[in-house]
Structure formats: C-alpha cells, structure tokens
Structure 1
Amino acid sequence: MKLPTPRWWYVREGAPAPVSRALLKPVSWIWAWATARRIARARPVDVGAPVICVGNLTAGGVGKTPVVRELLRRLTARGVAAHGLSRGYGGSLAGPVQVDPARHSAAEVGDEPLMLAADAPIWIARDRAAGAIAAVRAGAQVVVMDDGHQNPSLKKALSLVVVDGETRNGEWPLGDGSVFPAGPLREPLAVGLARADAVVLMLPDDLAQADPELLAVFGTLPVLIARVVPDAPPPAGPQLGFAGIGKPWKVERALKAAGCDLKDFASFPDHMAYDAATLKALADQAAHLGAGLVTTEKDWARLPPDWREKIVAWPVRCVFEDEAALDALLAPLMS
C-alpha cells in the first residue's frame, strides 16, 4: 500500500516534529550509507552521446518531469534529436523499450513516460545504461534522463538537481536535513550538491523571488529559477479536483490560483493506480456537488481508457526565468 508524502518531512530543524522522525533516524543512516557505497563502487558507462540528468535531492514531487519536457522541447526546436529516458516507475516492463502511447499503458511503462511520449521519443529501462544505449542506437544525439541523480550507471554530461523553492507556511523544502525515511532527502545535502552542475529552483507562480536563505544553501552552484505554470485555463464551472503526485496539495492551490471553481479536492499517494471503485466514488461525489472532475496530466495517464473522456487533464508547463542561462548550459551539448 502506498502512503502519501508526510508533511512533517518538511518541518525545519528546531520546530516540533513527530516522534517518528527520531525513531527513523537509524534507518536513515543506513540508507545514506548504502547510497554512498553504491555510487562510490559504480563504473559509469559512456553511451556515446551526452546524457543530461534531471534529478533531485528529495523524495516527493519537485517538478522534475516538467523540466524534462521543457528540455526535450528546447533541444528538439534547435534541431537536436533528443530522447527521454526513464526507469518507468510503476510499470511492468523492464525495457529497454520505446514508449508508444497508442500501444502502451501506464501500468506497463509508468505514468510520466507515457505523458512525455506525446511530445518526444521516450525510452524506459530499469537498466538505465541499456536504455540510453538503445536510445542512441535509435538516433538520439542527446539523452535527457528523468530522475537518476543517485543512479551512477551512466556518465553524465550535465547534472541538474530540481529543488522545491517554496519556503512558507512553516515548511522548508529540505526538511531538517534528515535522509529518508526520517526526512525527504535521498542523501545528505552536501553530498548530493557536490555531484550537481546546477540547481533548478522551482518557485510557485505567486512567489516573486526565492528565499535568500535557501539560495545560500547552494553555495557557488548556478541556480536557475523556474516555475510550473498552466498551459491552458482550468475547466469552466464547478470542479472536484484530485491528484496522486508527490505533493498533491500544490495542485489544489494551483487550480484555485488559476481561477478554478474548486468545490473539493481529493489527495492520493504518488503514482496511485486508480481502480473503478475509487473513480466511481469520485464521480459520485462530483455529481453530489454538481461538479466536473479535473486532475493532472500525470494522473490522467493512469486512468482506465473508459474514464478518460469523463475527466479533464489540466496541462502545465515549465518556464525558466533566465532562458539565456539555460541555453548556456545546453550549448556545449549541441555541438
């Protein structure tokens, strides 16, 4: 059974936190040790084309997939054959296989690869090196890897770490510095930053600038400010929203900020596989409210085909504040 992302992960040091954090600390030390050992012992494979890794330092949603989509779009627009690569989390296929939206389901290839495959060639592979090699053999000039900052199997030409830049309502995107499962970090912060070439700091649309205290955490690393913004207005009329992503509460807030007449919102665990009973319960609640149903593109990819016409997918996209700075990072990979 999947559990929602704990909000207490994002409580800052010195603030009240549940006893769970202290109890999980020893497990987090083991997790950090195992991750460091795996990375140190790896021999990264050079697949013959630049690999851009879009990873993160924390568990839970930070906006990696919109960044991957924007990089693929940007590279393709400049005449570069850019292919995406994903582990295919939640999918049954081990790969390497190129995702075909007309043939594959989220249960086979994962929700994010299925969503991305509408715009660019996407490969899934549990063996990330084998997946990148397959992409290059199929003509990829650049491989953009969705997630994998802690995966050392590939030689990376550019490593971007995506960080949630929201520091309000008593929450801190890096928690108190604890590693999973005592906190959101996948590895100690300094260790993860040492392997990064730049930080993509995701700010909500209504936050004018980044917190200087958070910026200081990244030291001398370049920081690119980006935002996930609506790519279309929310559906008209009353709506019942729902989402099963890392931080579903952000979808609720974004819908309201975009002017959606949101009557209620249901949160589910990340990568939730929606069954008929869950969807019928949502539909019944929406009918009681006199509302339609709206969700994210990622959630929509996991819906059974017979439910897709009944539920609106609300599209979003990633926008970088300093596009020239992004292009400067990508330029060496396009020659």
Structure 2
Amino acid sequence: MAAQAPAFWHRRGLPARLLQPLSWLFGALARRRRRRARPERLPVPVIVVGNIAVGGSGKTPVVQWLVAQLSAAGRRPGIVSRGHGGRIEGVAEVPADGDPAVHGDEPVLLAATCACPLVVGRDRPAAARELLRLHPGCDVIVADDGMQHYRLGRDVEIAVVDPATLGNGLLLPAGPLREPLGRLAEVDAVIAHGTLPPALAAALGGVPVFPMQLRGGALRALGEPQRTLELEALRGRRVHAVAGIGRPQRFFEQLEAAGLVVLRHPFPDHHVFTPPDLAFAEAAPILMTAKDAVKCRAFAPDDCWEFPVEAQIGSGAAERILEKLEHGRTSA
C-alpha cells in the first residue's frame, strides 16, 4: 500500500501545534542553508522546475512540456535530474532504454520521451557540467525537481503547485511544506492544478499563475507499445489501476471521471515493482501510469496498459519563459 501522508498535515490541530517548534527549526535550517549556498553559474541558462511540498505535483509532465517548447523555439535543451530510486553514486547519462533500477524511474521516462540528453546525479552542478561536457551543443539546461538545490545557479524558476498537497500550510514535520508558501512569490512562474486558494493567490503578488491539466492519450500495451486502445473502450468496465506516484488519487480519479470502475492499488512513490504486485485475483485489465510502466514492462501480464498523459498549460507560459531566457527577468 502507498505510504499515506499524516492526516494532521491537512489541519492545524493539536499534533501540528505540538510539532510546530520543529517546523520553526526546519525553516531556520533551510534559510541558513540557502544563505550559505554558493550557486554555481554555468555557461548556459538553467531553468529549474520544482515544488515546495512533499508529494507529487506533476513536475514530470511539465518538464516534458517545457523541453518540447524549448525545442520548438530552436533551443537545444538538456535535462539534469536527481535520479530518485536509482543506484548511481556519481553522475551518469541516461540512455532512452535505461534501467529504472539503476537510473531512476522518472529519468528513464524523460530520456525515453524528451529526445534530449539527460544526466542524473545527486550533485546537480556536477551533473550539469557532465551534461555540457558530453553535449557541448546544449544551450539550456532544465533541472528536474531542483528548487531546493541552491548550489545550482538558475535563471528561471518554475513552481508546480497542486493545492491538494499544500495541506495546513506548515513546514515539515508539522505540515507537508519544504519551504514556506511565501517562497512562491519569488519564482518566475507558477503552474497550478486547479484553482489556488484566494489567500495564496493574493500572496503571490505579481507572479503569474498558469493553469495546467493533465490530458490522457490512448492506452498502450506494455508488451506491445505499438498496440493501442482508446480509454473510452473500457467505459463501464472494472479495471485494476496501479500507481506508484506522489499522488495516486489523481490517477484513480482521472480514470473514474472517464467512466471506468476502478479497483485502486496505490503504492509508494518510486516503488520497485515485482511480478506479485500485478498478480490480482480478479481478472481485469491493469492500467498504470507511464512512470510505473517503465518499471513493469519486462514482466507485465498481457492485459496491462500504460496511460500516458501530457500537460496542457495555459497560454502565455511558454512565452514568459522564453522571454526570460532572452531578456532577463520580465515584469509580471
């Protein structure tokens, strides 16, 4: 089963109040770490895509969207990523057919779908330097999940926000936040699922907010990716839905909204799947996210399908990012 966020993260009750002194300490340490960081500037601009809360916010589809926008504008992007779930000790380039157990699930998915070089490593500046060494033609770097990695200098910051993950608005461990909500007022653009709470939207000042929706395409058979099936074909049918992502509920709700009867199977984020995880007593199609599919393809049953999604982001977002790259910080 998926590891559940503590229930008290969604309200400011007694448990949160008791833990708040630790949150103050966490915040003080985070501020000190940020002040002491000596950001390394690279010879090409860096765009950081990240968030301020624990849990999934949809960063991977945003990175895919951003790389496509940069490429369409004539840029030659590359990606650096932490490589969560992998075993890389130093830095390494990720091939399109990389092993998720070695390189991490999200980097392998990005390498397979973005058609640009990608290097993983805990040391983000070292990963970026290696990327430029291997691919000197790269003229912009996208840092996946890098907002709190202040050693890597950045020219543009994009925060991806899912209001459902902001909880009680408190820092760890009293709440789900890695940085205070006020941090969002410092970024160049906020990309949001749904509508931000009025108080948060007001606190952003002039930072533009662009709405995002994740739209699904046709299902792809894990064993034969060229074989597809429209989601509509499963309307009214019972399906097993498998999700080892930050917010499995989003995947389940998307399928239910399409009229499927969903048997929910949540797993922890970056879960290492094994064949027994997909051995269900009830015979029914098995649907999973693209991030999980890269880890299950080798042993998936015949009736197992990937549901790829792409980010559809409000107009003006790409233009703002490209303008920032060309002319420096834009007005809001």
- TM bracket, shorter-chain basis: 0.7 to 0.9
Aligned counterparts, 1:3-82, within 5 A: 3-11=3-11, 13=12, 17=13, 19-82=14-77
1:2 and 1:164 map into 2 onto residues whose CA distance is: 19
Q: Report the secondary structure of 1:301's partner residue.
A: helix
Aligned length: 309
Distance 1:181 1:303 in 2: 33
Equivalent residue for 1:182?
174
Q: Distance in 2 between matches of 1:317 and 1:89?
A: 21
Question: d(CA) in 2 for partners of 1:263 and 1:63?
Answer: 21
Partner of 2:204: 218
Task: Tell me the TM-score normalized by structure 2.
Answer: 0.85
**Structure 2 matches for 1:249-260, cutoff 5 A?**
249-259=249-259
The offset of 1:2, in angstroms, is: 7.7
**Which ranges of structure 1 fall in alignment gaps of 5 or more residues?**
167-172, 204-208
Q: Is the 8 A contact 2:69 2:318 kept in 1?
A: no
Matched, 1:243 2:243: yes
**What is the CA–CA distance in structure 2 between the aligned matches of 1:76 and 1:309, rounded to whole Å?**
36
Residue 306 of structure 1 aligns with which residue? 299
| Matches of 2:146 and 2:126, distance apart in 1 | 14
Task: Tell me the SS of whatever aligns to 2:295.
Answer: coil
C-alpha contact 1:225 1:320 (8 A) present in aligned 2: yes
Q: Is the 8 A contact 1:5 1:269 kept in 2?
A: no
Maintained 8 Å contact 1:80/1:334: no
Aligned residue for 2:299, secondary structure, equals helix
CA–CA separation in structure 2 for the residues paired with 1:147 and 1:87: 8
Q: Quick one: distance in 1 between partners of 2:215 and 2:5?
A: 22
Rounded Cα–Cα distance in structure 1 between residues aligned with 2:193 and 2:324: 24
Contact 2:66 2:318 in 1 (8 A): no
Shift of 1:4: 2.9
Alignment of 1:44-123 (within 5 A): 44-102=39-97, 104-120=98-114, 121-123=117-119
Structure 1 residue 255 displacement after superposition: 0.8
Moved over 6 A (4+): none
Q: CA separation in 2, counterparts of 1:159 and 1:221?
A: 11
Q: Which of 145, 148, 151 is residue 147 of structure 1 equivalent to?
A: 145
CA deviations 1:233-265 (Å, max 9, x no partner) are 436353110211111111110111123x23411
Q: Does 1:275 align with 2:261?
A: no
Shift of 1:211: 4.7
What CA distance in whole angstroms lies between the structure 2 residues aligned with 1:197 and 1:302?
A: 34
- The answer to whether the 8 A contact 2:47-2:143 is kept is yes
Consecutive unaligned residues in structure 2, runs of 5 or more: 219-229, 328-332
Show CA shifts across 1:130-168 (max 9, x none): 1111222313211111111111011101011111145xx
1:241–1:262 CA contact under 8 A, matched in 2: no
TM-score by length of 1: 0.85
Summarize the Cα distance change of 1:140–1:256 in structure 2 as closer, same or farther, 3 Å threshold. same
Task: State the partner residue of 2:263.
Answer: 264
1: CA distance between counterparts of 2:49 and 2:112?
A: 19
**Cα deviation, residue 23, structure 1:** 4.0
1:212-231 CA-partner distances (Å, limit 9, x unpaired): 44422322211111111113
Native 8 Å contact 2:239 2:284 kept in 1: yes
Q: In the TM superposition, what is the alpha-carbon distance from 1:89 to its structure 2 partner?
A: 1.0
> 1:170-208 CA distances to partner (integer Å, 9 max, x unpaired)?
xxx422221112211102222x225412211122xxxxx
Aligned residue number for residue 162 of structure 2: 164
How many Å apart are 1:308 and its aligned residue?
6.9
Name the Cα RMSD after superposition.
2.3
Q: 1:304 to 1:29 in 2, by over 3 A?
A: farther
